[in-house]
Amino acid sequence: MSLKPNYIPKILIIDDEPFNLEFLELVLRQQGYKIVTANNGRTGIECAVKNQPDLILLDIMMPGETGFECATILRLSPETSEIPIIFLTALDDAKSTQKGFDAGAVDFITKPFEYREVLHRIRLHLKIAASDKFMMNNQVELLEQNSALPAHDDTSPQRKNKSIFPAKQEEAQTYIYESVILPNKSESILLLNFTPPQLDNRTANNIRKALTLNTGPLYTPAETFRNVGTALRETFRSDIDQMMEIDGIYAHINRETDTLTLVNAGSLPAILLQPDGSTVFIEPQSGPLGELGKGLLPCSTFEMKKNSRLFIYSREMLSAFDSTGKGIKELKEACELSAGVDIETACQAAGEMLLKGKATLEGILIAVEA
C-alpha cells in the first residue's frame, strides 16, 4: 500500500500577464503543489478568501488594484491576514521594496523568473509560515515559560531623546506604555489604549513579556505588534468583546538608518515633526486589534533624520477638548511652536497645553527625537 503526503500546500498566483501565470503554474504543478490562479487583483482577493491558500504570489504592477493595494486588503481581512505574500516584480528600487514590506509582503521575486529561485523562496516561506503558526499557537506556553521580566534600564543614553507627560506616571488603567532599547541605537515604543477596567496586572505583564520575547533583529515591527496582539487575544479569549476595544501604536525608530516604521491599529494619528517644520499625520492603517486576524499588519516607513520628533498620545490626553479633531489640531500647533526647544521642555509644554485648566489628565503624551 502506498502512502500519501499529509500536507500538500496550495499556492495562489495573481498576475495579469498570461505567460507568467502559465509558467509559474506549470513549474509549481510539476513540483506537486496545488495551484489556483487569478489574472487581476479583485479576482485574486476573492480567490484568497474562497480557497485559503498557504501562500500567495502577487504581481505588483497590475491594472485596477495594484499588488500593494491587494496586499493591504489581504492583510486587513481576518480570513486572509495570515497568508504569506511574495511579490512578483520588475521593480528593484529601495523605495518600492520598503513599500512592499510595509504592505505586508514577506519577500520579493524579481522578473524575469529563474525557476530554481522561485521554488527555493516558496519552500522557505512555507516552512517559515508553518513554524510561525506553531509559535503563535503556543504563545501562552512561551509566556508562562518566560515568567521573569527584565529590569527597566533607566540609565540608557537614549533617554535624553525621549520625554513623557506627565513626567511622573501613576499606575494606569486605561493604557500601557513600554519602550525597548536595542543595541544598534534603535528604540521601539508600544502604546496600547484600553477601555476600563480591562487593564489589570496580569494583562500588563503578559504584554511586557510578549514584547521582550518578540523584539530584536529577528522581528519586523509588524511581526512584533502582531505577536503582542496574539498574546492579548489569548488573555481575552473568554471575552473577545473586550479585545474589540483595544487600539494601539507600535513605533520602531532606527537611528542607524534614520527611519521610523510605525504600525497604527485604530489609534489617533501620530504626529511626526520634520526638521524643516513640516508635519506628517500618521493615520491608522487598520482597525483596533480585535477586528484583525493574526496576520502582519500594514505599516508605514518615514525618514526620521536628526531633530525630527515623533509625538504619540493616548485618547485621554484630549479629554479637555470639545472634539477630538480640535484637540489634535492644537496639539499639532503646540508641537510646531516648541520645535526650537529641547525635547523634554517641548513635551511638557505640549502636555500643559492639553490640560486646558484641568488639574490632571489620565492619559500620556510621548515625545521622541531622532
Q: According to the model, what pLDDT value does residue 171 have?
A: 65
Q: According to the model, what pLDDT value does residue 206 have?
A: 82
Give CA–CA dist 255/119, Å, rounded.
36
Percent of the chain with pLDDT over 70: 87
Nearest to 184 by CA among 222, 158, 148: 158
The widest CA-to-CA distance across the chain, in whole angstroms, is: 82
pLDDT at residue 37 greater than cutoff 70: yes
pLDDT at residue 297 greater than cutoff 60: yes
Residue of higher predicted confidence among 155 and 335: 335
Nearest to 278 by CA among 309, 252, 301: 309
Q: What average pLDDT does the structure give for the chain?
A: 85
Give CA–CA dist 17/6, Å, rounded.
33
Summarize pLDDT for 64-83 with one digit per residue, the tens: 889 999 999 998 888 898 89
pLDDT at residue 217 greater than cutoff 90: no
- Packing angle between helix 324-337 and helix 343-355, nearest 10 degrees? 150
Summarize pLDDT for 9-19 with one digit per residue, the tens: 999 999 999 99
pTM tops 0.85, yes or no? no
Give CA–CA dist 92/95, Å, rounded.
9
**Alpha helical stretches, state H, the chain:** 18-30, 41-51, 67-76, 94-103, 115-137, 139-145, 201-213, 221-235, 240-243, 324-337, 343-355
Residue 141 banded pLDDT, cuts 50, 70, 90:
low
Summarize pLDDT for 43-60 with one digit per residue, the tens: 999 999 999 999 999 999
Q: According to the model, what pLDDT value does residue 172 have?
A: 65
Summarize pLDDT for 331-352 with one digit per residue, the tens: 999 999 888 899 999 999 999 9
**Residue 215: all three cell numbers together:** 523584539
